[in-house]
Amino acid sequence: MGTEPGFFKRHHFLLRRLHSLSGIVPIGLFLVNHLLTNSTIAWGMINSRGAEGLPPSVIEQVGQSTAMRVGTFQHEVGFINNMPFLILIEIALWVSIAFHAILGVYYATSGSPNVKHYAYQDNWRYSLQRLTGYVAILYIFYHVATLRWGWTWLTPTDEPWTYERASSTLAMALRGQMTGLSAGGMAVSLFYFIGITACVYHFANGLWTAAISWGLTVSESAQKRWGYVCTGFGAALMLLAWASLIGFLTIDIDDARQVEMSKHATTAATDQNALVEHLAAAETE
Amino acid sequence: MATKAAPNRTVRFRIKRCDGPGKPSYWHEFDVVPEKNANVISCLKQIAEHPVTASGQKVSPPVWDSGCLEEVCGACTMVVNGKVRQTCTCLVDVYAPNNGDTITLEPMSKFPVVRDLWVDRQRLFHNLTRIKGWVPIDNTYALGPGPKESPEKQQVRYKLSECMSCGCCLEACPQFQLETNESKWDDAFIGANAISQVRYFNEHQTGKQLKSDRLDTMSEKGGISDCGNAQNCVKVCPKEIPLTESIGAVGRAVTIHSIASFFSRK
Ligand code: HEM
Ligand code: SF4
Ligand code: SF4
Ligand code: FES
């Protein structure tokens, strides 16, 4: 047996700092971008160019607001889907999340939360950081498995999520039925609410603690000031997260399908297959 | 303190007992009529003089540690009603002002129990050797006067120098765990007091000769990166040492040190 300490011991500090860094870039950065994109389903109605490219008949049928919300969101999703090297970006993200999550669980299990006896606000923050980490693992796994890997058997609908029909298929995966919420839809929506809330808290609080770990904030007043910044930033992200959820819970699924279909047909009109598909779909309509 | 405590009241002490290292613990309850302005140690003395439990059983007198009796040595640190603090300054009039009030005493949980309320804080002192908590002035001839100290740094260091190694900050820290196996001490989280002492000695003009060694220790397993920023340490420190500022300051020093040594270490 060698006397050389193991890999994890030798690189303990580096791994800790990489864990901290990975939570901010790329994971945190992605989260901000993801919530900005998804929340367009709520605030897309104020995007003056949201309904651009949609035939007037469709806009009239579904209403200006739905057309702009779904139009903007579909546009954003289309943009992401057409990014070069998307699969590499995705793999980098998955690797980072796996790295952060696996080390995160290892770090979290090495602590012994004690809010029962020391019920200070900061101690609650510490415990919640661990708890929201666990919730984030469950939530992110469910989110990716059901929408990206098509595990529809875990959702209240059997319609798989596709990027061409991102708005309506996501709304179905959340709600389980065309109008209102099915029992399963209620459970999934609640889980989404808890999951996204946990992720945003975890990120905002992580930004605050990372500043101490790296030595950016030293004095108590600097830590306080940075705390206000992180709280404000977290609150704004939280609003975006909740707006996304509310957006998908309130959109009219039937109307969303109309917008998606005409949007897809116009943006992909040169694509022979898509055109044929669109015509076939229009015929059965 | 202007608390009105009932005169001649009886206070119930619940004491967690243990006959020796590794032995199981059990509880005994004692009734005490506290003397005027009593503190927990004076009540323990009353109990030890007459070690009969509330149910009339004669038992061995409870064992505890204490020294200065004025909150400067840290020896009497215990867990009182679930929270760590010094017991010599723990006033019974405040904690149990009414007849029949209970005070619960436990030994600290992060250090091995020697007996009853007495723990062995050896690891805390060992941790101070891990960070080379001293100023290197040993030599075979007189080194002459040291470099000048600025009043600003003296101000910072004065506060940090007040640490009495009591262990409160370690007891309340969710990242600091009991470790009875001495060979594992060097890998286990070192705790807030030692991190603060790194800052203390590194801020000293002569002490900082060992700065690099201290920061190396801080960037090993068990060093500063194992702190989870729960900030309990700073809230329970009886000397109000700005431990979380020290953690930020040493965090900054270690960030710079590790980047510098990446580029310059041979
Ligand atoms: C997937 C499951 C996740 C787990 C189990 C997890 C766990 C943890 C834990 C335990 C910490 C505290 C580390 C320490 O202070 O020593 C932490 C810190 C952090 N996490 Fe996560 N996390 C997860 C996901 C995320 C996500 C999705 C984000 C971004 C939105 C994120 C961002 C951060 C940040 C910024 C920190 C601060 C690091 C520091 O204090 O230096 N984490 N995470
Ligand atoms: S830092 Fe404070 S709580 Fe910790 S050992 Fe020193 S005096 Fe006690
Ligand atoms: S800030 Fe660090 S050292 Fe202080 S109680 Fe929290 S984890 Fe422990
Ligand atoms: S006996 Fe010294 S601090 Fe209490």
Structural domain count of chain B: 2
d(CA A119, CA A74): 46
Number of residues assigned to chain B = 266
Q: Is the pLDDT of residue B5 over 90?
A: no
Is there a single domain that holds both residue B131 and residue B77? no
Predicted confidence at residue A285, as pLDDT, reads 57
The residue from B87, B118, B149 where one domain ends is B118
pTM: 0.93
Closest CA relative to residue B188, chosen from B213, B219, B231, B223: B223
Among A118, A123, A220, select the one facing B242 at the smallest CB separation: A220
Task: State which residues of chain A have pLDDT below 70.
Answer: 1-3, 266-279, 282-285
Q: Does A16 touch chain B (CB under 8 A)?
A: yes
Q: List strands edge to edge, sheet with B83-86.
A: B25-32, B11-18, B102-106, B77-80, B83-86
Contacts of A246 (CB under 8 A, 6+ apart): A42
Q: Which ligand is nearest to the CA of B89?
A: 4
Q: Determine, yes or no, domain membership for A116.
A: yes
Nearest 5°: phi and psi at A156? -80, 10
Residue type, A271: D
Is residue A9 in some structural domain? no
Residue B109 pLDDT more than 60? Answer: yes
| Residue B55 beta carbon below 6 angstroms from any ligand 3 atom | no
pLDDT band at B201 (very low <50, low <70, confident <90, very high): very high
Cα B64-B66-B72 angle, rounded to 5 deg: 150
Residue A282 lies in a domain: no
Q: Do residue B259 and residue B153 come from a single domain?
A: yes
Q: How many domains does one find in chain A?
A: 1
Closest Cβ opposite residue B220 in set A12, A113, A126: A12
The pLDDT of residue A75 is 93
Q: Answer whether B248 sits within 8 Å of A217, measured CB to CB.
A: yes
Contacts of B207 (CB under 8 A, 6+ apart): B134, B135, B136, B200, B201
Binding-site residues, ligand 4, Cβ < 6 A: B 66-69, 71-76, 86, 88
Is residue A262 within 8 Å of A56, Cβ to Cβ? no
CATH number for the domain including A24?
Answer: 1.20.1300
Q: A118, B177: Cβ pair inside 8 Å?
A: no
Nearest ligand to the CA atom of B39 = 4
- pLDDT for residue B7: 87
Residues B140 and B201 in one domain: yes
- Distance from C-alpha of B199 to C-alpha of A3, rounded to nearest angstrom: 31
- Same-domain pairing of B86 and B164: no
Establish if B3 belongs to a structural domain. Answer: no
Do B127 and B43 sit in the same domain of this protein?
no
How does residue B196 score in pLDDT terms, banded at 50, 70 and 90? very high
Structure tokens at B243: 């431990």
Q: Is B31 on the interface with A (CB under 8 A)?
A: no
Q: Quick one: B81 and B174 in the same domain?
A: no
Contact A112 B225 (CB under 8 A): no
Range of the domain at B192: 121-264
- The arithmetic mean of pLDDT across residues B100-117, rounded, is 98
Domain boundary among B62, B95, B118: B118
Say whether both B131 and B192 belong to one domain. yes
Sign of torsion, CA A215 A221 A227 A233? Answer: negative
Omega before residue A26 within 30° of 0, cis: yes
Q: Does residue B1 fall inside a structural domain? A: no
B25 and B93 together in one domain? yes
Domain with A263, as residue range(s), is: 15-269
| Residues A126, B231: C-beta atoms closer than 8 Å | yes
Per DSSP bridges, beta strands B118-119 and B77-80 are unpaired
Is A275 within the bounds of a domain? no
Pocket test for ligand 2, best of B76, B86, B110, B166 (most atoms within 8 A of CB): B166
How large is the ipTM?
0.94
Are both B130 and B218 inside the same structural domain?
yes
Q: Are residues B61 and B160 in the same domain?
A: no
Retrieve residue B254's tokens.
Answer: 């270690």
Q: Which amino acid is at A180?
A: G
